Structure formats: C-alpha cells, structure tokens
Amino acid sequence: MSVAAERRAALPWEVWALLAGSFLVAAGYGIVAPALPVFAQTFGVGVTAAAAVVSALPVLRLLFAPVSGRLVARVGERAMYLTGLMVVAASTGACALATSYVQLLVFRGLGGIGSTMFSVSAFSLIFRLAPEGRRGQLSGLFTGAFLLGGICGPAFGGGLVAVDVRAPFLVYALALVLATAVVGILLARSSTIGARRDDPDVAPLTLTGALRFPVYRAALASGLATGWAVQGVRVALVPLFVAVALGREPLWAGVALAVFAVGDGAMLLATSGLSDRRGRRPVVIAGLATVAVGTACLGLFPSLVVLLVASLLAGAGAGLLQPAQGAAVADLVGSRRSGGPALSGFQMATDVGAIVGPIAAGALAEGLGFGAAFAVSGAIAVAALLVWLSVGSRAEEPGTRDA
C-alpha cells in the first residue's frame, strides 16, 4: 500500500480506545483540580501548604519517570498502561478518605507514579499503532484528547465541590476503575497490541542512545519550554497577573485560560497532520516562535485586551508545537522497538519546565515585576527555537521511520 493510501486509511480502533482513556485521565485531573487546595485547607493549613498539594503529583511523576521508562521497556506498554490507570485510581480514592494534610499530600503524590506509567506507555502505544506518515496527526489527536478533557473536567469538578469537597475524588476514582476494565478488555482482544512487540533485531532506544540524536536534544529543549511557558507559568502566573497587575476580577483569569485553550484546540484541528506533510522542524519552530511572542507580550503590554489576544496567540503556538515535537521523538523510536526510556526522558524535560517555571517566574514577578517574568518565559521558548534551528534540514523530512 502506498503512503498516500495509508494516510487515507482509517485509524486502528485501538487508537480510539487509548484516546478515550487519555481524555478521561485529563478530565479527571480537571475534576479534582478545584477541590485539591480547598480540601487541603480544611485541615487548617495555609495557602503555601495547600499549593504544595497541587505540586505533589508532578514532582513524583518527575522522580519516577526514569523507572517507568525502564519498566515499559521490560514488561511492555499494555501492562504498564493498565497498571498506571489503577495506581491513579487507588491514589485518588485514597485522597477522598484522607483524614490529615500529610495523608492527602502523600496520597496525591503517589498518583504521580501512576501518571507517568500511564503517559509513557500510552505515548509509546499510540505511535506503535500509527500508520505510515501519520505520527504527527496521532500526536495531535493525543494532545487534543488531553486538552478536551482538561476543558471539560474543571466545570464538572466545580459543581461536585459544591456538593462535597471529597466527591470529585470519589467520582474520578470510580471512573478510572471502570475505564481500566473497559480499555483492558478491549486491548486484550487486540491482535496488534501484545505484551511486547519489539523486533529482536532492533535494539531498544535508551536515553543515552537517544541523546546522540540532535533532534532528540532539540525535543528536550522544546519540551522544557512547553512545560515552562505553556503548562507552568500560564496556569500559575496569569491569575496573579490579572488580580495584581490588571486589578481585574478572577473571572478574567478564567476567561484568559479558556481563550488559550480555544487557540490551542483550533490550531490542533486546523493543522492536523501538518508536520507529517511539511516536516517536524519547521512546524516546531513556528510553534515556539508563536508561543514566545504570545507569552512575552503579556508582561510588555499589560492590558486586558492584550491579555486575551496574547493568550489566543500562545494557545495557537502550543497547538502547533506539541504534536510536532512529540512526533519527532516518536520518529526516533519507530514502531519496531521499545523506546520507554527515551519517551520518559522527554516527559521529564516537560515536567522540569512545569515545576521550575512557575517558581522562577514567581520570584521574578515578585522582585522585578510581571513584565520580567513573562519576558524570561518567552526567552526560554526562543532558546529552544535556536536549538531547533541548529539541528538543520535533517529534521525537515516529512514522514516517519520504521526503526
């Protein structure tokens, strides 16, 4: 079958099962997000301690990522995928039963272990199943499933908090148990997904091996920039910027975050598979440039109109950037070998940005003002762009690799 014919072919049904699981995990994360700090404060702790509960999951996810990558390579993606879902379900259910702040902190943090098990194995499975020449498209669908879940979850979670602050955790835990059972049954019926599908003639892609590729090093740089500017600073600093610098009601922070999501989702839909046709490098560079401009403008021109326009622009940049950089990593792994360690390394770079970014930007905002904080965040994206420019045209070839 020609590449053109394969691109027209329907995606494997297993892909849709994995995308549904990704949507549910993201929606559940959004469901419990409004409840976490509120629940923490019921134990009599301050704002800083309540915020620490939010950071517990990404910190544990970062610490466990190297282990999860090796486990994926050793026991296979399917087993790790389902185990990760169950760990997150158990952790979330335990949060609902917490009777002290320390218990809540520990239980929430343990969910990070399941989160990295799930995300690394799902990422690997998605790209193993990708038809020739469609890894960029599937990366966009994977990102879009998380985005859609992240949009739907908070609204539902906010309503549950009004009923009982523990309710979001119970609902999410039960939904994950059901999802694990359904997806597990579906994947067990698959003739494509087995416990292992590695080609014995192709060595697994280790982290050390991946670091030899300029494209992988560039993907780590853009992954860190994504975590810093898109996932970290945007969520942590925009609400403070709206309240302190603009003197506006918290409602406008929510509007700005929603506008970002609209830009992200619209770009994902409009450019689905663009990096498959045009190559990863130019799409990543365009995305990084757009994110940099959208982020830096927030502090340089402080006004409500600029906030909304810049949020839309940064969202559009994220919609370009994330699928293309994910597909670039998947090209190196291919479909015939395990790449768990390399994929977990890429996830770690994003997590480092998401953890360090808000802390560094918060310190800059407090010492030098919000303009400096957003400008530095934009500069991080520019630095990643320069790394991608240094890769050269070797990363511009569209299509995928088998190994």
> How confident is the model at residue 7, as a pLDDT?
47
> How confident is the model at residue 202, as a pLDDT?
55
> How confident is the model at residue 2, as a pLDDT?
46
Amino acid at 296: A
Can you tell me the distance from the alpha carbon of 127 to that of 130, in angstroms, rounded to the nearest whole number? 5
Can you tell me the distance from the alpha carbon of 303 to that of 307, in angstroms, rounded to the nearest whole number? 6
> How confident is the model at residue 254, as a pLDDT?
72
> Any idea what DSSP says for residue 255?
H
Can you tell me the distance from the alpha carbon of 12 to that of 349, in angstroms, rounded to the nearest whole number? 30
Count of all residues that appear for the chain in the document: 403
Answer yes or no: are the C-beta atoms of 117 and 84 closer than 8 Å.
yes
Quickly tell me which residue has 């320390």 as its tokens.
Answer: 102
Can you tell me the distance from the alpha carbon of 186 to that of 17, in angstroms, rounded to the nearest whole number? 8
What string of DSSP letters covers 143-169?
Answer: HHHHHHHHHHHHHHHHHHHHH-TTHHH
Can you tell me the distance from the alpha carbon of 280 to that of 301, in angstroms, rounded to the nearest whole number? 32
Answer yes or no: are the C-beta atoms of 277 and 269 closer than 8 Å.
no
Angle at 111 between CA 384 and CA 128, to 5 degrees: 60
- pLDDT tens string 164-208: 888 889 988 988 888 888 778 877 776 665 544 445 445 667 778
> How confident is the model at residue 4, as a pLDDT?
46
How many CA atoms does the CB half-sphere of 1 hold within 13 Å? 10
> Any idea what DSSP says for residue 229?
I
- pLDDT tens string 106-144: 998 898 888 888 888 887 777 777 666 677 777 777 777
* Among 86, 152, 162, 158, CA closest to 117: 86
What averages of pLDDT result for each successive group of 10 residues across the chain (403 residues)? 49 76 78 77 76 76 79 77 90 92 90 85 75 70 74 70 83 86 76 52 70 91 90 77 78 79 84 80 92 89 88 90 84 68 83 83 83 90 93 52 45
CB atoms within 10 A of CB 206: 18
> Any idea what DSSP says for residue 334?
-
Amino acid at 254: G
Answer yes or no: are the C-beta atoms of 270 and 384 closer than 8 Å.
no
> How confident is the model at residue 339, as a pLDDT?
63
